[in-house]
Amino acid sequence: MASDSSNESGWYGAPWVRFGVPYRNLSETDPTLNKVLVPHWAKMGGLEYKTLSGNEHAWCSLFIDWSMTQAGHKGTGNAMASSWRTWGNKGDYWFGAVLGIRHASGGGHVTFFLYWVDKAKHLAACMGGNQGNHLNVTCYNLSGNHSGQDEVVNGPRWPAGVDSGKEVSKDDVLKAHPELRVGAGAGSTT
């Protein structure tokens, strides 16, 4: 299914990113965020959770799947973050690319890559759900588990059948979308 191309130009070919922006910085206990995301659980293997909060409710994959669906793309339909590691096609660190992450601690996560905060140091701004129990923009160190940091598994992923994305500089992203600053709304200046 094709995405809505009328708004794609302002989102660097990744219109799925825009769907999370109105909810950024909301906590997993926020009723508005729950009202939007919780109904999508049923579409992901018939899960019947009533809330995002709780340790057994890892909802990072839910958010990515919901965003992709909103943009007219097929997600994984799976609540496991690791399901995104083989989804779509391997891409590059393009704005909106899906990153399947393995934490140094061994846990998994999935998030949208936005821009490099510091490419040489592998510091990336990423928007996702269940990042500190919020939907937000967070800085991840993607240096890899060999250095005790997060590791992107199987490369950044991009929806099948969608033209290649664009690597966009931090300055260009923040000029167009200041709300995508790491910690925006929480006093950060990164």
The predicted structure's pLDDT at residue 27:
95
Q: What are the boundaries of each domain within the chain?
A: 13-180
Catalogue the E-assigned strands of the chain. Answer: 26-27, 89-90, 98-102, 108-118, 123-128, 134-141, 151-152, 157-158
pTM: predicted TM-score of the whole model, two decimal places: 0.91
Q: What is the pLDDT of residues 9-68, one digit of tens each?
A: 689 999 999 999 999 999 999 999 999 999 998 888 777 888 998 767 789 999 999 999
User: What pLDDT shows up at residue 148?
Assistant: 80
Percent of the chain surpassing pLDDT 70: 91
Per-residue pLDDT at 188: 34
Q: What is the pLDDT of residues 134-146, one digit of tens each?
A: 999 999 999 887 7
